[in-house]
Amino acid sequence: MRVYETIIARRTIRKFRQAGIDTGILNKLVNAGRLAPSSANLQPLEYFVVHDEDLKNRIFPNLAWAGYIKPEGDPGPGEEPAAYIIILADRKVNNAPEYDIGASAENITLAALEEGIGCCWIGAFKKRQVADIIKVPEGLSVELVLALGYPSENPVYEDVKKGSSIKYYKDGTGTLHVPKYGLEEIVHFDRF
């Protein structure tokens, strides 16, 4: 898949087939993340990969999923992620690493899709509990959880006009629809 095609195909996945992800692929995804741009090349990010079944089971209840379509948007039994990549930051190196985190997470997400793996960025989670579970050393903060696995759903996007609802929803067949503002709504060439 070419880069643009991968970007167009990328949708958030919250329901996964129960198939493991090879550690070589997980290393490849982290490598894609670490090579993302970094403000002043400070590189404040580190990565914690959760592949162990016990750790995955302990982390899962500390995550919040799909606020617009609760509870049917949450992964149910047998739909949980196969792995997590947790992005950590050393805020003494860079006290505002948000751009680095976003660039890194997008690299990981696109590299995952190229491998047939879906991803859900989770910023709504119990940070203290997750940090305690993975025993984060002092100096690092837990910033973002990327839930990964082979998709068992196929969300679609649809162009909408500004002012329309942006809430994603499931139709009668269970397909997740994700409204996105159409290009003509948000692009301006040379003038407004």
Looking at the structure, do residues 83 and 36 belong to the same domain, yes or no?
Answer: yes
Range name among 63-72, 88-97, 152-161 with the lowest pLDDT average: 63-72
The range of the structural domain enclosing residue 183 comes to 155-192
C-alpha 168/C-alpha 170 separation (Å) is: 7
Residue type, 62: N
Looking at the structure, do residues 146 and 159 belong to the same domain, yes or no?
Answer: no
Range name among 32-41, 66-75, 136-145, 156-165 with the lowest pLDDT average: 66-75
CATH code, 147: 3.40.109.10
Ramachandran angles phi, psi of 175, nearest 5°: -75, 130
Quick check: 1 pLDDT over 80? no
Percent pLDDT > 90 in the chain is: 95
Ramachandran angles phi, psi of 85, nearest 5°: -115, 120
User: How many domains are contained in the chain?
Assistant: 2
Res 117: pLDDT: 98
Looking at the structure, do residues 139 and 190 belong to the same domain, yes or no?
Answer: no
Closest CA to 65 of 106, 127, 12, 107: 12
Instruction: Give the pLDDT mean for 145-166.
Output: 96
C-alpha 52/C-alpha 23 separation (Å) is: 11
Query: Please, what is the average pLDDT of the chain?
Result: 96
* pTM for the predicted model, two decimal places: 0.95
Looking at the structure, do residues 160 and 93 belong to the same domain, yes or no?
Answer: no
Looking at the structure, do residues 107 and 21 belong to the same domain, yes or no?
Answer: yes
Closest CA to 142 of 151, 150, 132: 132
Looking at the structure, do residues 162 and 94 belong to the same domain, yes or no?
Answer: no
CATH code, 181: 2.20.180.10
Res 70: pLDDT: 86
